[in-house]
Structure 1
Amino acid sequence: MKIFRNNILTLIKQRKVKFVDMAESANKVSNIRSYNKSFLNASLRFLKALLSLFLIIEIINFPLIILALIYSIYKNSNMQNNLMNVLFCITFIITLICITIITFELREIIKAFMDKEVFVLKNALRLRRVGFSTIIVGVFIFVNNVIKYGTGVFILLNIENGITSRIDTVLGIFIGIIILVFSEIFKEAVKIKEENDLMI
């Protein structure tokens, strides 16, 4: 009987050790999660501040850039140069507007993440605007490179004059398409979340 009792006490002690180990493991996991959460919050705050700074710089510089472009158009008296300058000015202004939209929408998405509003329709629409703006910028880069390099724009790797690449020609378009796909996935996730919320 004494041996049986000692065996039971030994088993109980082993179980207590296992429970203590499990509790310590749970505390470690909890500490790691809280560290990850605080790191994520700090990263989001930094990103939001950085995008806010970029947005302020873009808004301040926008009228100055427009004035500089208009001045450069009127400074040149050659009509053919003038037409190219006007086209460049228009595409540059549209590109600058698209970049400002991208910066603003990304800032708003990060702000929504910080407010714990991740799966909402607004974020899907914001991602969609970012995608379309990125495609527009990509198209202007593509057109500019076609004018600049002609058919050489389609060379992805050139070894003759050293290793060079013109992948940036289509990169903006591809990134924009990927962002549009993510926005559609995000929209579907919002629908699924709303359906789950209705079931609960």
Structure 2
Amino acid sequence: MKYYGKKSLSQVLLWMLDIILVVGVGLSILVYYNTFFKNTGNINGKNKIVLGILLTIGVVCIFLIVFELRKIVKTLIKSNPFVWSNVKSLKKISVKCFIIAACYFGNFVASFGKEKYKFIYLDAKGIHTDTEPIIFILAGIFIAILAGVFKKAIEYKEENDFTI
């Protein structure tokens, strides 16, 4: 199967991103409803506002990442991935990853004392980890490096275009 161009793996990825957007809107509504209206449980007052803001920032960043990924995938479908818009999109995605990691750290601070941070733990429901901030930091760094690689590739491409 082809990686880029029409009828390629890139086209499948674009469809998946479209599905993620639609399902993501529904899941976001469900999460907000269950968290802030139905099962408020231990969340109250100031904490509810802080957690609501952090959740909203994180959710918005995730949607913005998906939109940027869609832009990148569309250039893959057009068989022209080394364009400046992809460098900009990768930089935006990198920043969004760092913002999401900061939201997780904000959540740990806001929820301090309620539940202990557990790097990895096992219970009756399975294996759980609280490594999301680390994952988003590493993803942000990797994507920033990838943006630099794309930038260099475009510079080489443009240099070669001028010599022909």
The TM-score with structure 2 as length reference comes to 0.76
Q: Structure 1 unaligned runs (5+)?
A: 1-35
2:13 is equivalent to residue 51 of structure 1 = no
1:88 to 21, 28, 51: 51
Residue 54 of structure 1: how far off its partner (Å): 1.4
Question: Can you give the 5+ residue segments of structure 2 that lack an aligned partner in the other structure?
Answer: none
Deviation at 1:141, TM superposition (A): 1.7
Choose the corresponding residue for 2:132, options 158, 161, 168.
168
Q: Report the counterpart of residue 129 of structure 1 in structure 2.
A: 92
SS of match in other structure, 1:37 = coil
1:108 and 2:94 equivalent?
no
Deviation at 1:111, TM superposition (A): 0.9
The answer (yes or no) to whether the contact 2:105–2:133 under 8 Å persists in 1 is yes
Deviation at 1:108, TM superposition (A): 1.2
Aligned to 1:117: 80
Distance in 1 between the 2:27 and 2:119 partners?
34
Deviation at 1:60, TM superposition (A): 5.7
3-state SS in 1 of match to 2:44: helix
Distance 1:194 1:38 in 2: 23
Which residue number corresponds to residue 61 of structure 2? Answer: 98
2:54, 2:106 within 8 Å by CA — same for their partners in 1? no
The yes-or-no answer on 1:197 pairing with 2:156 is: no
Partners of 1:130 and 1:181 in 2: CA distance: 12
Cα separation, partners in 2 of 1:165 and 1:98, compared to 1, 3 Å = closer
If the length of structure 1 is used for normalisation, what is the TM-score? 0.63
Higher relative contact order (CA closer than 8 Å, sequence separation 6+): 2
8 Å CA contact retained: 1:142, 1:170 = no
Cα pair distance change 1:66/1:93, threshold 3 Å? farther
Q: SS at the partner of 2:94?
A: helix
Deviating beyond 6 angstroms after TM superposition, the runs of 4 or more aligned structure 1 residues are: none
The Cα of 1:134 is off from its aligned counterpart by: 1.2
Deviation at 1:144, TM superposition (A): 2.0
User: How many pairs align?
Assistant: 154
| CA distance 1:82–1:100, shift in 2 (3 Å) | same
Q: What corresponds to 1:17 in structure 2?
A: none
> How large is the RMSD of aligned CA atoms in angstroms?
3.3
Query: What code does the residue aligned with 2:153 have?
Result: A
Higher gyration radius (CA):
1
CA contact (8 A) 1:124 1:184 kept: yes
Greater share of residues in strand:
2
Task: List per-residue Cα deviations over 1:138-188 (Å, max 9, x = no partner).
Answer: 2212332355467x64x75679xxx87543332211111111111111112
Greater helix share, 1 or 2?
A: 1
